[in-house]
Chain A
């Protein structure tokens, strides 16, 4: 039955799938990862084994996973949406109470060969489940208030868990990913405006109520917000990073100091130079030009996602593709805003470049889903 219907819809089967594999996206992902390997090699001072080698191994595993996911029909992944979400949620609960805490907030499960961060999986699982929800929901109900409740609950649950860790960066990415899928699904724009203005209003109320009789938060909570917004009040921590990061970025100039010539990063000014702050080193060594090229590579990946999604008549596939693309976009833009001093440091890695296993595997897996949606679409 399914074979006939797929044939009828023009969905490729068997070896014909290879013909429809989205090679440009795969090539772009590999290029960005390759730049990542070069930078890891550079920041370790020319030590291949320290960071570059494990990262390459992870990339290879992730790439194979991507291919396997690509050739599995998207209908199977569609039916896996709810289980994936539930498992990610359980794992999030698990790390909340039994996980290993490292670097302050990030929590993971140690499987021996890899440290799993369930929050990374949740970013994709949430997009999957909300895409499924809107695929299932009738068109006419999309903007009804009570049908808005399930996706909000689905998002709020993992958000509360990651905020509790506390991991603000992941919480922002989760909320943005969910909001994008809802936007694409056609939820009335008035809701978004209402949501944005109520958040803005709340922030405004919190700020101006300070010092009055109607003060909303406690004094120490205000102080926490202050340190969060102004990291220079913690000069040996985040503030120092940002200052040094800006110096490194700026000293790169137009074309950079050259590969492995960045003095700021080579002199160990940045403790997170191989993870969240890797863009700093890149921009110092390859300058403004390098930075723009990297940005273009990222945007091209997103662009191809748009192209395939626009031609996909399967609502789940289309929503999933752009949801993943948006999550990927938020990843690199929040990271870049952060290291360039335009956003507070919230701990978001640069996708495919920063050293780290979970993010690499999850992102490549997610692009496997994009590929699967692309391969198995009606033509």
Chain B
């Protein structure tokens, strides 16, 4: 060991320096302990025992939702609420029992509240009763000295004045549940307020955060009976943003009512800009029932209904598009050049593919048909033939260009993508090779092909306009328009699109067209296409036995009825898609509904927007003199 002597000496000097600094810091700690624990002890003891610093959340008012002409679809109604804060009520049970003499409050509810109180942090107010009358509040206020921790409050409750017509679009709010809290990673303290209302479905759920707004805080000092001594800090929050939809109430109501009694969906879209004008799903329900928590019996009634009223069939329902898919197949074949515009194909009523018989809906066949006639009569054999010629990949490509099989960005939960199959898809998901028969089935919109009513309306709008339209449902967010005018042209030849449009024109206006009975016989004409899609496999035996009559089958095995269309034929304005679940033939069930909704849409005339939500809001504030 021959360490230089210098090292230990310098090390010792440095160690002493360090020790000195540490002692200084330790001294600071001791001084602080003395200051808090001895010098200012009295002050803190008082704070601990007699006064409480209290932080109160000021919940923001939720954003209001308007329709395209300024009708209010979702608003906040004032209700009187009574809350209790545990740290102020020294004995919550005694306080609640005294309170029960003044307002209606059952023993069961009291035990519920006590349970709730023990779970929450001491300063979080817990709702005791809501929807109270002014007399109750007056009685509670008069007795406030004997009710420590009880706070009467003017609260806000969500209300849907139009109710059922917009239930699927707007959705509904409901009290936040423990399950919700476990599902969302959101640290907003508002969610800790018991029974705080958050969006559970529809736009309310999808646009939850902007609609909710931001909480304000009030830091207050209160004495032992809960009387506010002074406000230490007041931080204001911001209300939720207001929304305006592109959907108008008149058309939405008409569509909903027209579909009454069916399990059905209809979508109307503006062909010029993609605005969704109606998005109706039937049957519907009253969203107001959910706002304060739905009763078990109501919930079961909605859930057990075989027509599934809670589902928004316009975006969540997926159906084989049936013959409404034939435009896609025709466009794919024309674009690929496998057929030309005048080519005729002979339809004997069936086509043999690899030893299997593929039938046309018309038993005797259509004879020789051109593309225009094939669309007009909805000849299946023609489309089996051209589908096989052009191949599934081209069909899927065309379908996606027209807005099928892709997810459209609407502010709704569970918007579904549908399915446009490819060979690769089948190998991956069905562990099977693609058969030619699969292509033939896809040629008439059966088999693996699935689409939602929204997608079908988008497809029709794109066919009618020749533009790549994106469906748009929110017109304004917080008074800012979401409109972007950049619809590009579809990459198809106008000549081909025109040929398909004439075929669709014939469907509704040619005496032998499948939807002739549902034509619009006015200044404006409608172009369209019917569809009847099978939900079951028809066995050979059934076909030979001839018991395939739709009416003889149980409801859930009947065919779906579909119709897509646009009007006016010249200078189109609106596209529409209608599906009636298990409704039978498209020409009989869906086409008349589509015609009536379309006529209504045309009769409503100018589709301009109503007054700006902002103006409505500030007017209301001025009139009532209170902030909402």
Which of B18, B28, B34, B87 has its CB near the most chain A CB atoms (within 10 A)? B18
Write the nearest CB–CB distance from A67 to chain B, whole angstroms: 27
The chain B residue with its CB closest to the CB of A187 is B14
B512 within 8 A of partner (CB): no
Say how far A95's CB is from chain B's closest CB, in angstroms.
Answer: 19
In the assembled complex, the CB of B212 is this many whole angstroms from the nearest CB of chain A, namely 16
**Contact of B43 with A by CB under 8 A:** yes
Nearest B residue to A289 via CB reads B37
B34 touches A288 (CB 8 A): yes
CB of A184 within 8 A of chain B? Answer: yes
Q: Which residues of B contact A291 (CB under 8 A)?
A: 33, 37
Closest beta carbon of chain A to B117's beta carbon, Å? 12
Q: Is A173 an interface residue (CB 8 A)?
A: no
Q: Judge whether B11 and A254 touch: CB under 8 Å.
A: no
A336–B29 contact, CB under 8 A? Answer: yes
Known A9-B1, A253-B45; judge A183-B17 contact (CB<8 A).
yes
**Inter-subunit contact A248/B48 (CB<8 Å):** yes
Contact with A along B1-25 (1 / 0, CB 8 A): 1011011101110110111001101
B368 interface hit (Cβ, 8 Å): no
Within A248-269, which residues are at the interface with B (CB < 8 Å)? 248-254, 263-264, 267-269
Contacts of B29 in A (CB 8 A): 295, 333, 336-337, 340
Question: Across the interface, do A326 and B22 meet the contact criterion of CB distance under 8 Å?
Answer: yes
B217 touches A (CB below 8 Å): yes
B181 close to chain A: CB less than 8 A: no
- CB neighbours (8 Å) of B37 from chain A are 249-250, 252-254, 283, 287-288, 291
A87 to B34, alpha carbons, bound, how many Å?
Answer: 43
Please tell me the number of chain A residues within 8 Å of chain B, measured between CB atoms. Answer: 49
B407 at the interface (CB under 8 A from A): no
Q: Which of B6, B15, B41, B53 contacts A251 (CB 8 A)?
A: B41
Q: Is B26 an interface residue (CB 8 A)?
A: yes
B14–A183 touching, CB < 8 Å: yes
Q: Across the interface, do B17 and A313 meet the contact criterion of CB distance under 8 Å?
A: no
The answer to whether B189 and A236 touch across the interface, beta carbons within 8 angstroms, is yes
Contact B7 A329 (CB under 8 A): no
Bound Cα distance A313, B4 (Å): 10
Residue of A254, A271, A336 touching B41 (CB-CB under 8 A)? A254
Verify if A93 is at the interface (C-beta below 8 Å from B): no
B438-472 to A contact mask, C-beta < 8 Å, 1/0: 00000000000000000000000000000000000
B33 in contact with A333 (CB, 8 Å)? no
B600 at the interface (CB under 8 A from A): no
Nearest-Cβ distance from residue B41 to partner chain A, whole angstroms? 5
B219 touches A235 (CB 8 A): yes
Give Cα distance in the complex from A252 to B10, angstroms. 44
Q: Quick check: A288 and B33 within 8 Å, CB to CB?
A: yes
- In the bound complex, residues from chain B placing their C-beta under 8 Å from that of A309 are 15
* Contact status A250-B43, CB under 8 Å: yes
State the majority secondary structure of interface residues on A. helix
Q: Is A322 an interface residue (CB 8 A)?
A: yes
| Interface window among A58-66, A113-121, A239-247, A360-368 | A239-247
Closest chain-A Cβ to B128's Cβ sits at a distance in Å of 21
- Asked if residues B38 and A253 are in contact (CB atoms below 8 Å), the reply is yes
Say yes or no: A326 contacts B18, CB within 8 Å.
Answer: yes
Q: Report the interface size for chain B: residues with CB under 8 A from the other chain.
A: 47
Whether B26 contacts A263 by the Cβ 8 Å rule is no
Determine the distance from Cα of A260 to Cα of B28 in the docked complex, in whole angstroms: 28
Min CB gap A241→B, angstroms:
12
Q: Which residues of A contact B14 (CB under 8 A)?
A: 183-184, 186
- Cβ proximity bits A261-300 to B, threshold 8 Å, 1 near / 0 not: 0011001110100000000000100011001100100010
A292 touches B30 (CB 8 A): yes
B40 part of interface (Cβ distance < 8 Å): yes
B105 CB within 8 Å of chain A:
no
Find the A residue at minimum CB distance from B219: A235
Among residues of B, the one whose C-beta sits closest to the C-beta of A264 is B48
State A240–B57 Cα separation when bound (angstroms).
13
Mask for B186-208, Cβ within 8 A of A = 1, else 0? 00010000000000000000000
- Whole-angstrom CA separation of A306 from B11 in the bound complex: 11
B36 within 8 A of A: yes
For chain B residues 98-115, which have a beta carbon within 8 Å of chain A? none
B55 within 8 A of A: yes
CA distance A141 to B45 in the complex (A): 57
Cβ of B12: which chain A residues have Cβ within 8 Å of it?
Answer: 310
At the interface, yes or no: A226 with Cβ under 8 Å from chain B? no
What's the Cα separation between A337 and B38 when bound, in Å?
Answer: 17
A318 at the interface (CB under 8 A from B): yes
**Nearest opposing residue in chain A for B121, CB measure:** A268
B233 adjacent to chain A (CB < 8 Å): yes
Does B547 sit within 8 A of A, measured CB to CB? no
B129 within 8 A of A: no
Taking the complex as formed, is A180 at the interface, i.e. its CB lies under 8 A from any CB of chain B? yes
Chain A residue with Cβ nearest B13:
A186
Q: Does A26 contact B (CB under 8 A)?
A: no
Does B228 sit within 8 A of A, measured CB to CB? no
B122 near A246 with CB under 8 A, answer: no
Closest Cβ–Cβ distance, residue B12 to chain A (whole Å): 6
Closest to B41 in A: A253
Note all chain B residues with C-beta closer than 8 A to A336: 29, 32
- B47 CB within 8 Å of chain A: yes
B48 and A186 form a contact (CB under 8 A): no
- A236 contacts B55, C-beta separation under 8 Å: yes
Q: Contact partner of A310 among B15, B23, B55, CB < 8 A? A: B15
B44 within 8 A of A: yes
Please give the distance in Å from A118's CB to the nearest CB on chain B.
24
Q: Is the CB of B44 within 8 A of A306?
A: no
Q: List the B residue with the shortest CB-CB distance to A255.
A: B37
Q: Which residue from chain B places its CB closest to the CB of A183 in the assembled complex?
A: B14
Digitize B577-611: 1 where CB-to-A-CB distance is under 8 Å, 0 elsewhere.
00000000000000000000000000000000000
Tell me, in angstroms, the Cα distance from A164 to B188 when the chains sit together: 23
Residues of A within 8 A of B44 (CB): 246-247, 249-251
Q: How far is the CA of A318 from the CA of B14 in the complex (A)?
A: 12
A32: Cβ under 8 A from any B Cβ: no
Residue of A nearest to B45 (CB): A251
Interface contact A235-B233, CB-CB below 8 Å = yes
CA distance A184 to B7 in the complex (A): 10
11 further contact pairs, Cβ within 8 A, besides A251-B47, A253-B45, A288-B33: A139-B6, A186-B11, A235-B219, A236-B189, A236-B217, A243-B53, A251-B48, A254-B37, A269-B122, A288-B37, A340-B29
List 21 interface pairs A-B (beta carbons < 8 Å), by A numbering.
Answer: A139-B7, A184-B15, A246-B36, A250-B45, A250-B47, A251-B45, A253-B45, A263-B48, A263-B49, A264-B48, A268-B121, A295-B26, A295-B33, A299-B23, A302-B22, A310-B15, A315-B7, A315-B11, A322-B15, A329-B22, A336-B29
**Among all A-B residue pairs, the 8 with the closest Cβ atoms:** A250-B44, A288-B37, A251-B48, A291-B33, A253-B41, A251-B45, A249-B36, A250-B36
